[in-house]
A and B are shown apart, each in its own frame.
Chain A
Amino acid sequence: MTLNHVRLPIPPSRLRAKRILASSALFVKGYGRAAIHLGSGYRAGSSPARIFPIPEGFKKLLTGQATRKLCPVEPTLFRSRRDRKLGENVAVRLEGITKRFGEQKAVDNVSLEIRDGEFFSLLGPSGCGKTTLLRMIAGFDTPDEGRVIIGGKDMTGVPPYLRPVNTVFQNYALFPHMTVEQNIAFGLRMKKMPKDEIARRVQWALELINLPGYEKRRTDQMSGGQRQRIALARALVNEPEVLLLDEPLSALDLKLRQELRVDLMNLQERLGITFIFVTHDQEEALVMSDRIAVMNKGRIEQLGPTEEIYELPKTAFVARFIGDSNLIPAQALEPRRVRTPIGEFVLDDEDALTPGQQVLLSIRPEKIRLFREKPSLPNVFRATVDDIIYTGSENQYVLRVDGQRLMCDTLNQDIQEPGHEEFTYEEEVWVALTPEKLVVIQGGLEGSNPYA
């Protein structure tokens, strides 16, 4: 984030960023060009809790009895984002969940396990079934098939008021006729907790969200960010085993959203409560989650640790929905050698193919390297700079190779830095696709457009 230096004004000729029509190209470009690279600044987890300082003793109050048993995350190629320890127990298990609305299958045979203390995201475009799935965990909807198991107990037919989960709604759903205090106390009052205990916990919750002194305010007098935090406090004060969050940040503006991401993440880590977070914002999911389930048309396309989702997309849909990807159809010539419309490439040792096999190669735009002089690297070819899109933090080059398009992002570093080069329109450049960065995807492009 802070890597960028002040730039000279760009000459007007460079501002002519044309619209790139993905459909015309073989190399399909995903939308959602949100700056993934922002992640690097946020992911470090180093930011102090600005909005949610955890009051002393809250955690003990909240978790009460148990200090949770901790164990490492299951070993995978990529470690979880913050090198976190997760509980060994399963917080939520979904077994073969199917939900139909009329003929349409909103959720189609979904099974997954969410670990104790995990920050789990359900990510997908609108209509992919992620909210329906969350509503079935909350108990607002009942699955047509399958079972919902929360904390080891079958909760499939159990109404929401008897489940050990709480929800933060997309529109907050605060009670407009109640004060902040009454809103937060609602759940405790339903549990018939003694008055002084309720007052104590409400105080704690208000400190947790850093809104002490706001007890008597009416919620309609508060800003979106404040209401969001009240909704969070109203849910958390009940000490749920699992907190369900249905796009809680989507109504806020960008800066506040970015701030709240970090705060939410820190809060979750400190309280140790399992969070299930529904979002269509891939950046949000990447920043906060331990694991992500990418959903499409009611099914899980891919489930894995955050970095694995980004680095090793298993389907064309995931590659296109999470960040941007260049997708290149390829045919295997040898186990580690493929032919593509833009030349023959070697693959990494781990990607052994059977000769003749049709696959897709995915490479992230920021992993493509450009050179002015021919480098002595594998998978090198010539391309022409067709367009340059200046986004502030990066220069995005649209390259033309044999009538096809290829996207390449370079960080907008100081021009003086060694090894850094900038290119101009119609310049002939050398492109290198590093074998380790080429991801092999089985299956074709059909149905992979998240916005179709």
Chain B
Amino acid sequence: MREAATPWERLRQMLLTVGPGALWLGLFVLIPTLIMLVASLMSRGSLGQLVPPLGLHNYLRFFSDPLFVEIIGRSLWIGFWSTVFIMLLGYPLAFYIAQSRHKEVLLLLVVIPFFTNFLIRVYAWIVVFQKEGLLNGLITAFGLPPAELLPSTLAVYVATVYTYLPFFVLPLYAAVERIDWSQLEAAYDLGARPIRAFWEAIFPQTVPGLFAGFLLVFIPAVGTFVIADLLGGGKVTLIGNLIQLQFGSAQNWAFGSAASMVLMAMVLLGLWLYARTQGERGLDKLV
């Protein structure tokens, strides 16, 4: 390969190599985000259109109203605990699949829900939780009074865990699958008891997969609105519902954009904290 002679040629090479990726990112990530950022600084016109003046008033409104702070707090809370449940279920599941003789079948079972539309799957939970639903049928069969399960926070939790579990299991499975199990034997051999051996020899190798799974689950779980809408009724309002409301019936795109930016900032803050604790390596491993 000869060196690029002129600046023009160098530019041409750059456009051909980095160009397409940069174009894609610019068109679909950078520009929309900038539009949102600008929109979040504008105001709502009398017809719901975006008008000047520019300012931080939407953000001030968001953080000064305890209702909105409560909403984002609740979103993070429900998102966090759903993710914890998902991790508790998914971690052993990923190991079980990786060790199983029928791993192809089990992986297929994990992926199968994706064959059906997300909305339909959430509606399916209504069938389970509603007053004359499957769960209440089971409860009354034991002679107990039927429970008020819909709308409820419990239903939101169950559906969130159900929906996002595969997003956690798959990346973790990929990490677990690569583990050389003779390392566990090596740890025993060097004097580590079973729990210690797992903790020292195997667990650290699953951390990148664990974190990747955490992000893939936590981010959408915090931002979800369909599940809370259908199963939480009026009881559970999350930040996703708020944003949807602002862009929809409230017709306040400026405020909706500001709420979106807050959500995005929270997620980026989390990533940044992770990068700080794990070093640059941590992010590398994620990708």
Contacts and interface: CB of A to CB of B under 8 A. Distances in A.
Do A and B interact with each other, yes or no? yes
Interface of A: 138-140, 159-161, 165-167, 169, 171, 173-177, 186-187, 190-191, 234-235, 238
Nearest to A186: B190
B189 A190 contact: no
Nearest to B192: A190
Interface in B15-35: none
Interface in B153-185: 180, 182-183, 185
B196 A138 contact: no
Contacts of A169: 182, 185-186
A174 B179 CA distance: 11
Contact of B193 (A140, A161, A238): A161
Nearest to B181: A173
A173 B183 contact: yes
A175 B183 contact: yes
A173 B196 CA distance: 17
A171 B183 CA distance: 10
Contacts of B200: 175, 186
B205 A177 contact: yes
A174 B189 CA distance: 12
9 contacts: A138-B189, A140-B185, A166-B190, A167-B185, A173-B185, A173-B186, A190-B191, A190-B196, A238-B191
Contacts of B187: 175, 186
Given A138-B185, A191-B191, A238-B190, 16 more contacts: A160-B188, A160-B189, A161-B190, A166-B189, A166-B190, A171-B182, A173-B183, A173-B185, A175-B183, A175-B186, A175-B200, A176-B183, A186-B187, A186-B192, A186-B200, A234-B190
Nearest to A177: B204
Interface string B225-261: 0000000000000000000000000000000000000
Nearest to A185: B190
Contacts, number: 62
Nearest to B186: A173
B221 to A, nearest CB: 28
Contacts of A159: 188, 193
B190 A173 contact: no
B201 interface: yes
B183 to A, nearest CB: 5
A167 B204 contact: no
A306 to B, nearest CB: 28
Given A186-B200, A190-B196, A173 B191 contact: no
Interface in B90-135: none
Contact of A190 (B180, B183, B190, B205): B190
A187 B192 CA distance: 8
Nearest to A182: B200
A160 B182 CA distance: 13
Contacts of B196: 190
A140 B188 contact: yes
A165 B190 CA distance: 9
B185 A187 contact: no
Given A173-B180, A176-B205, A177-B205, A161 B185 contact: no
B212 to A, nearest CB: 16
A190 B189 CA distance: 11
A138 B201 CA distance: 18
Nearest to B178: A176
A102 to B, nearest CB: 15
Contacts of B189: 138-140, 160-161, 165-167, 235
Nearest to B184: A173
Contacts of B201: 175
Contacts of B192: 161, 186, 190
Nearest to A167: B189
Interface string B48-82: 00000000000000000000000000000000000
Nearest to A169: B182
Contacts of A165: 189
A217 to B, nearest CB: 15
A139 B190 CA distance: 12
